[in-house]
Amino acid sequence: MKNKAKELDVDFTGGQDKPLTKEKEKAISDFIRTAKEKRKLKEHKQQTITKQKQPA
């Protein structure tokens, strides 16, 4: 019989009993902030393209 559970290869930043360090917390915050900025920039570019395609 096959094992139904799949083993996941996951990267852990720390255990549940230890809080994040300030460096890791800042790195995560910076990553999220840049991802949001990229997403907003991409959405803004898409909006300007669609506005330009509309007949005047």
pLDDT tens for the chain, 56 residues long, are 566 777 777 776 666 777 888 999 999 999 999 999 999 988 888 777 777 666 65
pTM attached to this predicted model? 0.53
Q: What are phi and psi of 30, to 5 degrees?
A: -65, -40
1-38 residues labelled b (16+ CB within 10 A) or e (exposed):
eeeeeeeeeeeeeeeeeeeeeeeeeeeeeeeeeeeeee
On whether residue 31 sits in a domain, the answer given is yes
State whether residue 18 is helix, strand or coil: coil
34 is in which domain, residue-wise? 20-56
Q: What is the pLDDT, as a whole number, of residue 35?
A: 95
Is 13 within 8 Å of 24 (Cβ atoms)? yes
On whether residue 41 sits in a domain, the answer given is yes
Q: What is the pLDDT, as a whole number, of residue 17?
A: 75
Q: What is the pLDDT, as a whole number, of residue 9?
A: 75
Distance between CA 22 and CA 28 in Å, rounded? 10
On whether residue 37 sits in a domain, the answer given is yes
On whether residue 26 sits in a domain, the answer given is yes
On whether residue 45 sits in a domain, the answer given is yes
